[in-house]
Amino acid sequence: MRTIRIIGFVLLGVAISISSLYAQHDATDIITRMDSLMRGKTFEGVYRMKIIRPTWQRTLRFKVWAKGLDYALIRILEPARERGVTFLRIKSEMWQYVPRINRIIKIPPSMMGESWMGSDFTNDDLAKESSLVRDFEHRLVERRRMQGQEVYVIELIPEPDAAVVWAKIVYYVRVAGFLPVRAEFFDDRGELVRVLEFKDIRRVGDRTIPTRMEAYYVDRPDERTILILEEGQFDMPIPDNVFSLQNLRRVR
């Protein structure tokens, strides 16, 4: 009997270890699938952004070109006074072109967490310098129901050498289809700072994704930014020279 009990404890320990390893692998797999769904190999699309403040509102329209994890170009289409303002990211470097002064400005990595065009989205949100897959460790916290759907709750902790703004991110991802539902962003004191909600699930090209994102800071409940995908296509060829400093001034 003693031998049987010992064997039982050993098998239980092995099962727990395997379960932990599986959960870790599963969490990374979930985030990878979600990121691939939202990012694609390439993406080209037009967004409308509405910035809401207690005493004013304003709307921007812009076009995005993105390729893999390392390249992104964003060009403002509206309003007219900001038309042509363009952002370029190549790997960990980012630039902004301001046509009014005909100048290219280098954006340092320390500003990736700063507001993009006065919105509740950051430079990193739009240009996607950090990668949810490669810059974080992932842990499956639980599986629960949210908004009538089964979701995975995934905790993302930055890798030690990752240039990441947040101390922790918690993603809520639908079990069916790996669609993001909500993301919560925490500071280094463990306090919830910002929330990103994903809504209006629609068919875009060959995939079904949320086409409306709402970002807000928890200490400013009367302020938020709504980002709506008006049109987009994934996995279409985009020439490498689109993502170049030479093209920054003249992209159309």
d(CA 220, CA 218): 5
pLDDT score recorded for residue 9: 45
Assigned token pair, 47 = 């967004």
Domain ranges of the chain: 35-248
Predicted confidence (pLDDT) per residue in 65-120, tens digit = 999 888 999 999 999 999 999 999 998 889 999 999 999 999 887 788 889 999 99
Fold of 35-248: outer membrane lipoprotein receptor (LolB), chain A (2.50.20)
pTM of the model: 0.85
